[in-house]
Structure 1
């Protein structure tokens, strides 16, 4: 039994302004959007979860092991990642191991106080799983059992949850060489496809880094899958175009690029072919590889103007910052760190070439809050192709989201914002994340109404646009 006063609860007015008059306005705005369908145009849910309708296995496997946010905080507070089941590809975790991982997490619950993770976790624990105890060493096993019972219920498989979470559209993130078989299975299920669209997203990052050790192997594989000779840059380019077309034919609406910076510029055609040949021969220098990479990114923008796939750029993270963690566990385990970003000069060549192209939708994200109002909002406030990606990754937290809204709307307005991007592989956090954004939309709009910068009917209309119209426009749904 837990202590009196240690219940875990969700307050109806969470994230709303404390001033009661403004809060009343926010309640009305939120009420108009809270039940609208979820549109999730960028995320990392494995498509096999849906095509095979897989069980989530156990609480640790569902909520801890794949969640970089949680693992980072626990690691910082002395927990070994291996104790949490990391990396996610492991198959040796026993029931005892999983329970011990959960106990460790619950014992560290106070370490999440004030974090966005505490907010999302509480929303999931209470709103999805029906947990009423605050996590602690004393309540860990009971909470584990409550969630396990929820997982074991056949009504809580991924396909059923698409209905329960009211997810209308969700995009996965896929390698250019994927055959997209899982997406074919979902599209062939007439009953499921009538209510839900699961789209692949073309993510060619590893194929656009000619200086990486495995690039030649990847280029060969790309050529094999596309059925094209990639011994020349022209052939490699044709193979990328072929795979983009394949993704579009299978329901894809966008391409995604997790890049180091926003530099993009064409090389002279002969120089580009020369550097490609050096890369194929394993003789390219680091500086030459960067120049060819920026050329390849520029060409992805050109391709987007031709095939109409929305192009999203996610720069600003130094991957695998901790070498020891990378060597022990591999990539994508939570030790990527944001760094400062320059946008205006970096994108000038790209936007001079394509920035007002009628067939291009270009979404710029950042992990550097400083550039929202100074660079990204002014760019989106002029160039017709440019849209502002909402806060993601390290800054998809309530205060960061409010800072974003206040930073960009005064310069670019609401019409240039992408709509909610949850960027998650934690399936059960999707409704929590989207609800958080709708509450922050309501809070921001209510403040504008309260100071007479918007009328209430305008705020209600704008709230709906942010949830439905903006993402449909930006991702051409």
Structure 2
């Protein structure tokens, strides 16, 4: 019995389902452009085998372990590394068994589709994971992972990846990207400039990070001008490795456009120890500074706001950041983005891609903004909303105002390498279903739908990210 229904995510009405199936056939085998994600460049540099099924599917994936934790499974029992030196499960088979025993929790979720897609299409498994099948499937996957054709570079080719972007700290030496380039491998893995550690005053060791930025760029980051010059130098360094984009994960979308004297004074206060209001003002100013730098060097700018990070102090204290306890919050884009848009919003040569975790902002704020300002584009449904329903809602709420051309296609935004083809396949199916509905209701001509589908699956992301 196959795990995957061939018509999954298509409309139930037979005539519209046939339309969706035909549109999907036009795009299902297009190359994958993955312009924003969190895979490790080290995987592609060293090309070592993935360790085991549990450390491939469970312990690194907060989508997976947060669901089990929500039902009372201890995070430590799933092998998630601790930062407080407490004990964690080290038996990978035991971790896998716990995962399998609770697999029913994923019924109806996008994670279930991603996991089943990987099990069937990557490992040829056609029986459902459960307590009864756990050991058998573990052995099957472990046997596959020992083979050369399941190493990262081979899977990159098998998945049809054309280019993949990692997300890298401004302080990263990009050694693994250098190793990839020096190896002569044909795969295209490019970095993304993520300067949060040296822009967000609330980041751990912020002042020390700014000092380190000065050391590696030979700039005086104790001064405002030297600090900005250090960013320019690092951006140029990242560009030398193929970087085409920056990424900013701020708590809010607030921007500011202070005079250089006001900004310099704020910078000095921030280095000395800011108030919460000063920290927010500095993050806001730096988004506009980054946009101005993008006018000079051509890097696309991504803003990923609106997550209340590390909501549980208990989990944060024991396990650290990025452990499934980042929660969406409301975001005001109309007022927040206005200073940046006043400064650079009418510059068509600039691309600022805004994401949101606040779906209520799509139709009310983001689509109208992107439908007017040449510099602004809408990122796809993100994080908690990269689900079939979330993707459909995104199209329904943005297309009527922003059209398709003011969006940037799809990106997978994942650490889970094996979920990349599953996520792109999901997006292509959901878009095919949406376009089929437009055709069936007379809002799109049948000959236009495949062209739009190709843009959504491939062309828009490649163009928007200058890849």
TM range (shorter): over 0.9
Whether contact under 8 Å (2:79, 2:89) holds in the other structure is no
Instruction: Using structure 2 for the length normalisation, give the TM-score.
Output: 0.97
Whether contact under 8 Å (1:315, 1:367) holds in the other structure is yes
Whether 1:152 aligns to 2:146 is yes
What do the CA deviations read for 1:409-456 (whole angstroms, capped 9, x no partner)? 111111111111100010000000000011111101111111111111
Q: How does 1:295-306 map to 2 (within 5 A)?
A: 295-306=285-296
- CA distance, structure 1, for counterparts of residue 325 and residue 174 of structure 2: 29
- CA distance, structure 1, for counterparts of residue 406 and residue 261 of structure 2: 38
Instruction: Specify every segment of 5 or more residues in structure 2 that has no aligned partner in the other structure, as ranges.
Output: none
* Residue of structure 2 equivalent to 1:22: 16
Question: For structure 1, which segment, 307-316 or 352-361, has the greater mean C-alpha deviation from structure 2 after superposition?
Answer: 352-361
Q: 2:67 aligns to what SS in structure 1?
A: helix
Whether contact under 8 Å (1:38, 1:434) holds in the other structure is yes
Of 410, 416, 420, the match for 2:410? 420
Whether 1:294 aligns to 2:288 is no
* Residue of structure 1 equivalent to 2:440: 450
- CA distance, structure 2, for counterparts of residue 37 and residue 88 of structure 1: 38
Q: 1:18 aligns to what SS in structure 2?
A: coil
- CA distance, structure 1, for counterparts of residue 317 and residue 420 of structure 2: 31
* Residue of structure 2 equivalent to 1:129: 123
Which portions of structure 1, spanning 4 or more consecutive aligned residues, are displaced by more than 4 angstroms? Answer: 88-95
* Residue of structure 2 equivalent to 1:3: none
Q: 2:5 aligns to what SS in structure 1?
A: coil
Whether contact under 8 Å (2:192, 2:246) holds in the other structure is yes
Whether contact under 8 Å (1:211, 1:279) holds in the other structure is no
The structural deviation recorded for 1:213 is 4.9
The structural deviation recorded for 1:271 is 2.6
Whether 1:201 aligns to 2:192 is yes
Whether 1:436 aligns to 2:426 is yes
* Residue of structure 1 equivalent to 2:385: 395
Whether contact under 8 Å (2:77, 2:88) holds in the other structure is no
Whether 1:54 aligns to 2:44 is no
What do the CA deviations read for 1:259-296 (whole angstroms, capped 9, x no partner)? 111111022322322222223333x3222222122111
Whether 1:163 aligns to 2:157 is yes
Give the total of aligned pairs. 466
The structural deviation recorded for 1:92 is 8.5
Q: How does 1:215-294 map to 2 (within 5 A)?
A: 215-282=206-273, 284-294=274-284
Instruction: Using structure 1 for the length normalisation, give the TM-score.
Output: 0.95
Instruction: Specify every segment of 5 or more residues in structure 1 that has no aligned partner in the other structure, as ranges.
Output: 1-6
* Residue of structure 1 equivalent to 2:313: 323
Whether 1:41 aligns to 2:31 is no
- CA distance, structure 1, for counterparts of residue 276 and residue 97 of structure 2: 46
- CA distance, structure 2, for counterparts of residue 264 and residue 401 of structure 1: 27
- CA distance, structure 2, for counterparts of residue 250 and residue 185 of structure 1: 11
1:212–1:177: structure 2 CA closer, same or farther, 3 Å change rule?
closer
- CA distance, structure 2, for counterparts of residue 420 and residue 401 of structure 1: 10
1:88–1:364: structure 2 CA closer, same or farther, 3 Å change rule?
farther
* Residue of structure 2 equivalent to 1:459: 449
